[in-house]
């Protein structure tokens, strides 16, 4: 297996409480890997640690073979590693198009190139970015709301903008934190379709999702995180049949 992402004994604590307690796992290149586990298991924290929002207190992160432990989010995005957030973030007053352009502009050396080469190069770059934003909006079926402020969109459309924002950075690995949570079933299905399309395009995906039906249909393998550690990894059928996984979920419900 070629690993796109390889974590070794990754640790992270808040105020002395260890939330990630030595996570070791690999995400295979080209896979659509599911990341599941009870509430509070540390899934979102793991994404935060991997994408440079939190600095790990121990262990290592390798992306495409390079050690990126402690790298800034910026550097990771440039390397091709991007995440989406559980709640769409950003600048709600900007239009969908402006929003996508903004994230495209934070690409490698954007400001620098414009500054050195002058306005013509900058204009050409803007055109390329604009076309990319349009293509992404079409792909995500956001083209009819391109000029609407993000704040006026439905919850589901905001989730699509969040995916579009990630795509503007031309990622090779996308970490998606519950991209279907709280959206209606039709849109959840549409988002599932987009994820399958990105997967077919060769983008590696790691998906946190609570809906086991979606995980079963979309993801192979599935990794179960519990109490800050990787509990098991396998096909959906394997992990749900595992007694340790059932125990981890039941234990939390009491
Ligand atoms: N910024 C933070 N400060 C303190 N504790 C945090 C912070 N972020 C997460 N935690 C704690 O880490 C644990 C794991 O949270 P989280 O990663 O959000 O779990 P999951 O996404 O699996 O539901 C929880 O106990 C949570 O309260
Ligand atoms: Mg979470």
Q: How many residues does the chain have?
A: 254
Separation of alpha carbons 210 and 181, rounded Å: 8
Instruction: Record the pTM.
Output: 0.91
Any ligand 1 atom below 6 A from CB of 43 = yes
Any ligand 1 atom below 6 A from CB of 41 = yes
Sorted by where each starts, the structural domains of the chain and their CATH numbers stand as 1-80+171-254 (3.40.50.300), 93-169 (no CATH)
Q: H or E element: which one contains 169?
A: none
Distances (CA, A) of 164 to 25, 74, 177, 217: 27, 17, 14, 23
- Give one word for 42, left, alpha or beta, with left for phi > 0 and alpha for psi -120 to 50: left
Model pLDDT, residue 113: 53
User: For atom 8 of ligand 1, which residue has the closest CA?
Assistant: 45
Any ligand 1 atom below 6 A from CB of 42 = yes
**Contact between 215 and 236 (Cβ < 8 Å):** yes
Q: pLDDT tens digits for the chain (254 residues)?
A: 677 999 999 999 999 899 999 999 999 999 999 999 999 999 999 999 999 999 999 999 999 999 999 999 999 999 999 998 766 666 778 899 998 998 776 555 555 555 555 677 777 888 889 999 999 999 999 999 999 999 899 888 999 999 999 999 999 999 999 999 888 999 999 999 999 999 999 999 999 999 999 999 999 999 999 999 999 999 999 999 999 999 998 875 44
In degrees, rounded to 5, the angle at the alpha carbon of residue 29 between the alpha carbons of residues 226 and 1 is 85
User: For atom 7 of ligand 1, which residue has the closest CA?
Assistant: 14
Q: Compute, in angstroms, the gap from residue 197 CA to the centroid of ligand 1.
A: 31
Count of alpha carbons within 13 angstroms of residue 42, beta-carbon side: 26
User: For atom 1 of ligand 1, which residue has the closest CA?
Assistant: 14
Q: Compute, in angstroms, the gap from residue 193 CA to the centroid of ligand 2.
A: 22
Give me the helix-helix angle, 110-139 and 155-168, nearest 10°. 130
Nearest atom, ligand 1, residue 47 CA? 17
Model pLDDT, residue 254: 44
User: For atom 24 of ligand 1, which residue has the closest CA?
Assistant: 40
């Amino acid at each position: 297996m070629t690993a796109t992402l390889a974590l070794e004994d990754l640790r992270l604590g808040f105020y002395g409480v260890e939330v990630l307690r030595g996570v070791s796992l690999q995400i295979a290149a080209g896979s659509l890997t599911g990341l599941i586990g009870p509430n509070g298991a540390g899934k979102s924290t793991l994404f935060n640690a991997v994408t440079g929002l939190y600095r790990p207190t121990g262990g290592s992160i390798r992306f495409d073979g390079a050690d990126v432990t402690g790298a800034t989010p910026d550097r990771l995005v440039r390397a091709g590693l991007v995440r989406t957030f559980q709640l769409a973030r950003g600048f709600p007053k900007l239009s969908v198009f402006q929003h996508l352009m903004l994230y495209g502009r934070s690409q490698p050396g954007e400001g620098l190139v414009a500054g050195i080469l002058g306005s013509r190069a900058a204009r050409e770059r803007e055109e390329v970015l604009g076309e990319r934003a349009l293509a992404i909006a079409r792909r995500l079926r956001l083209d009819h709301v391109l000029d609407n402020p993000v704040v006026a969109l439905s919850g589901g459309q905001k989730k699509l903008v969040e995916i579009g924002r990630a795509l503007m950075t031309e990622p090779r690995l996308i970490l998606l934190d519950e991209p279907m949570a709280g959206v209606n079933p039709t849109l959840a299905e549409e988002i599932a379709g987009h994820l399958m399309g990105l997967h077919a395009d060769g983008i590696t995906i790691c998906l946190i999702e609570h809906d086991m039906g979606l995980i079963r249909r979309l993801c192979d393998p599935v990794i179960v995180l519990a109490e800050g550690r990787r509990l098991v990894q396998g096909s959906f059928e394997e992990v749900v049949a595992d007694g340790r996984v059932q125990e981890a979920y039941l234990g939390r419900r009491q």
